[in-house]
Amino acid sequence: MTDIRAMTRNAICEEILWKSSPGLIPYPVALSFMEGRAQAIHQGTAEPLVWLVEHPPVFTAGTSAKDADLYNPHGYPTYSAGRGGQWTYHGPGQRLGYVMMNLTKPNGTVQSRDLRAFVAGLEGWMTDALARLGVTAFTREGRIGVWTIDPLTGQEAKIGALGIRVSRWVSWHGVSINVSPDLTDFDGIVPCGIREFGVTSLQRFDSSLTMADLDNALAAAWPERFGSIPRAA
């Protein structure tokens, strides 16, 4: 991780625990951990945490998922995620950033108890991190997540997804950004219920970019949006 302390401003006075887990973390393990951590944060017995992981191939259903949007030709496991949104694919080469944070107080640009601002903050965090890697990304009205112009097709494509759950004003779940996944695996669903746009990845822009590069960019971009400095858990 880069030295985030070098970016400290007077307005940034807190730290947030930051954990990156190697290997592929089974999705049910992540769900169980997040649920327990969110409850502990609410009870005041654990600190907020950003957790960076990868999963084995899996399709997860949000609360708005439709059965007709799941094809799953490879028979990957499917799980009800309990978050907002529709069907999402997770797999090797995709970075998940799970954000477990107390939303009863302000967090940088995000005011207390403001879910719209929290979602905007997460989207801005992704676009800021991608910009540090030379990728211009953006949001679109009516389309959740982060988009860019695919360098191979010249068309808009999704590079980052978002799905959150908030329990007693503590967030869990979070964001995903495609670094080097097998993009054909996304053909097993209609991603986030949007049929007319494809998906893309960082390696389509620069094949030398790695998961570590993205992790460093995410850590560097975090303070400007959420007002806290990443500290290794």
Residue ranges at the known binding site:
83-90, 161-163, 174-176
Query: Cα–Cα distances in Å, from 49 out to 97, 171, 223?
Result: 10, 10, 14
Q: Which residues are annotated as a binding site for substrate?
A: 83-90, 161-163, 174-176
Contact 56, 182 (CB under 8 A): no
| HEC letters along 88-134 | EEECCCEEEEEEECECCCCECCECCCCHHHHHHHHHHHHHHHHHHCC
Q: In terms of residues, how long is the chain?
A: 233
192 is catalytic: yes
59 closest CA partner among 75, 44, 82, 37: 75
Number of Cβ atoms within 10 Å of the Cβ of 76: 16
Catalytic-role residue among 41, 183, 192, 217: 192
Active site residues: 192
